[in-house]
Chain A
Amino acid sequence: DGGITQSPKYLFRKEGQNVTLSCEQNLNHDAMYWYRQDPGQGLRLIYYSQIVNDFQKGDIAEGYSVSREKKESFPLTVTSAQKNPTAFYLCASVQRGPNTEAFFGQGTRLTVV
């Protein structure tokens, strides 16, 4: 089945720790995105990549880092510099074309303990 796989589903981070969220897609999409979802704030763009080995900051990139070494993979690292990392993280991929349909993974819920 084609789609986007995010792992893990739940993740707990201690203060001062870096954690990496995985996102893999087999849709052969060029563009991939990371969003953060908080109650009442919708989806806010963290980072995006439109092609392998290239990525750009979104609206709330501080405290996060990404890499795009393969077309299928776009991991997100939440660093210790992110002061309020507890949130639901969503990865999406988009097929280039006139209609920007984004396909989302099932999300990773990150909690700081």
Chain B
Amino acid sequence: QQQVKQSPQSLIVQKGGISIINCAYENTAFDYFPWYQQFPGKGPALLIAIRPDVSEKKEGRFTISFNKSAKQFSLHIMDSQPGDSATYFCAASKGSNDYKLSFGAGTTVTVRA
């Protein structure tokens, strides 16, 4: 079964708007939560990541919010641009000696100009 649940499956946002993608997990052993961005026909690339000792991390227009008690985390894309149109995956891993990433199902974001 999927260890990380991601929603929505797709979203459309106007240029300049905010895109929000949500993920939830059950395994409390997870301690590293990255987001990957994938363009069509390419491999995913790391966008931003967070550890559960902080509640928010911001890099440019991308922000991760983390709620440890609810076992949820989300990606916010501020001032969305057409170049942000891509598929976004959340993931989780246990870190330490276990480097396997469990991925969410992905969210396809379309930014309309």
Contacts and interface: CB of A to CB of B under 8 A. Distances in A.
Interface stretch (A14-22, A40-48, A62-70, A79-87): A40-48
Interface in B61-113: 89, 93, 95, 99-101, 103-106
Given A101-B46, A104-B45, A107-B43, A42 B95 contact: no
Interface residues of A, number: 29
Contact of B95 (A44, A100, A105, A109): A100
A48 B100 contact: yes
Contacts of B101: 33, 43, 100, 102
A102 B36 CA distance: 9
B103 A42 contact: yes
Interface residues of B, number: 23
Nearest to A104: B43
A1 B48 CA distance: 22
B28 interface: no
A4 B9 CA distance: 28
A42 B6 contact: yes
Contact of B44 (A6, A90, A94): A90
Given A96-B99, A103-B46, 19 more contacts: A35-B103, A42-B89, A42-B104, A43-B44, A43-B89, A43-B101, A43-B103, A45-B100, A92-B43, A100-B34, A101-B34, A101-B46, A102-B44, A102-B46, A104-B45, A105-B43, A106-B43, A107-B42, A109-B41
22 contacts: A33-B100, A40-B106, A42-B6, A42-B89, A42-B104, A42-B105, A43-B44, A43-B89, A45-B100, A98-B32, A98-B95, A99-B34, A100-B32, A100-B34, A100-B99, A101-B46, A104-B44, A104-B45, A105-B43, A106-B42, A106-B43, A107-B41
Interface of B: 2, 6, 9, 32, 34, 36, 41-46, 49, 89, 93, 95, 99-101, 103-106
